[in-house]
Structure 1
Amino acid sequence: MTTVAAPLMSARLSLTPETTLVGQLDGAWWPESRDLEAELPPLIDALEGRFGRITRVAVNPTRWPVVPQKVPVTGHTLHVGWFTEQDPDKMILLSYSVGRCDLLVIPPETEPAAAARLMTAAAVPGSILTAGVLMSDETATGRRMRDARSSEAASATDGGSDPPPLRHPVVGARMIPLRGTPRR
């Protein structure tokens, strides 16, 4: 009887380019689930080439239903800690050689387009945006995009005619909304 090992999942990861610019984040990680024991090994495998042997991870437990104290990874054991004071959308990884790596953690249920925007934004070298700011900005962007889509859908159901020009609230001039701009 032959036993075939299940392939390891690959990490959905975006890292800042190696540069002297230091920012708030070193990149973003988009896990497949909220199971740290299953998700951490492929992440650590993907990061150790750049950051060296990662020995500790810190998370905020509000985003993880179970936070194991130790997780076996390739060649060693990873110690996992949790801090409620830590940004819930950030993971801190510690290594012997590089020191620290801070990653935005994108919720697994995030739509692919939003995850792509977040991964790109978190990998900008020297960015001063924190994990929490990126997540709240994306929530606002997603809301604006949903509003624009529903406005377009409403326009399609009313025959596609343009709405009448709106009055400017201050000057009284006529404003013609641009396509995709939500109506007031």
Structure 2
Amino acid sequence: MTTALQPALPSHPLLRLRLAPHGGMPRPIDGAWWPRSYDLLAELPRLLAGLPRAWGHVTSVTVNGAAWSAVPGRMLVSNQVVRLHRTLTASAAQTILLLAPGQGRWDLLVVPPDTTEEAAEPLMAAAADGQA
């Protein structure tokens, strides 16, 4: 009898993130993020860990307060305090804003977690191409 070994599942699911190419032109959207849930306390550390090092340390995050579950005023991510802000403005309904002092501001399109892969892929590609 032969036993086939199943490959081990990753302990941390892959980050679903697409960033626009780095360039000199400012863009309204810098990429897209497709979280797996609306639990910001679980999702945000994965996102911040997957960002390019050149973006520096993100110290402030603004999210749509209506879309995400509990959003405390701050949280500890990799031994660093990150301040969390909620907004209810219509212009921020599907975005997350990341600030890193001295480095910049990045706005990411947030693809809703329950979006199918077929629907999410073109949204993410358009955001990374600057067409979102």
Q: Taking structure 2 as the reference length, what is the TM-score of the superposition? A: 0.84
TM-superposed CA distance for 1:60, in Å, is 1.3
Q: Which secondary structure does the structure 2 equivalent of 1:57 belong to?
A: strand
1:14-47, Cα deviation, whole Å (9 max, x unpaired)? 0001112222100000000000000000100111
Higher radius of gyration, 1 or 2: 1
Please tell me the root mean square deviation across aligned C-alpha atoms, in Å: 1.7
Residue number in structure 1 paired with 2:83: 79
**Structural mapping, 1:149-168, within 5 Å:** none
**Residue 92 (str. 1) matches residue 97 (str. 2):** yes
**Residue 117 (str. 1) matches residue 114 (str. 2):** no
Q: Which of the pair is proportionally richer in helix?
A: 1
TM-superposed CA distance for 1:79, in Å, is 1.0
TM-superposed CA distance for 1:50, in Å, is 3.2
What residue ranges of structure 1 are gaps of 5+ in the alignment?
Answer: 1-5, 130-184
Aligned length: 122
Give the % identical residues: 38
Q: Which secondary structure does the structure 2 equivalent of 1:23 belong to?
A: coil
Residue number in structure 2 paired with 1:38: 42
Higher relative contact order by CA 8 Å / sep ≥ 6: 1 or 2? Answer: 2
Please give the alpha-carbon distance, in whole angstroms, between the structure 1 residues aligned to 2:31 and 2:98: 12
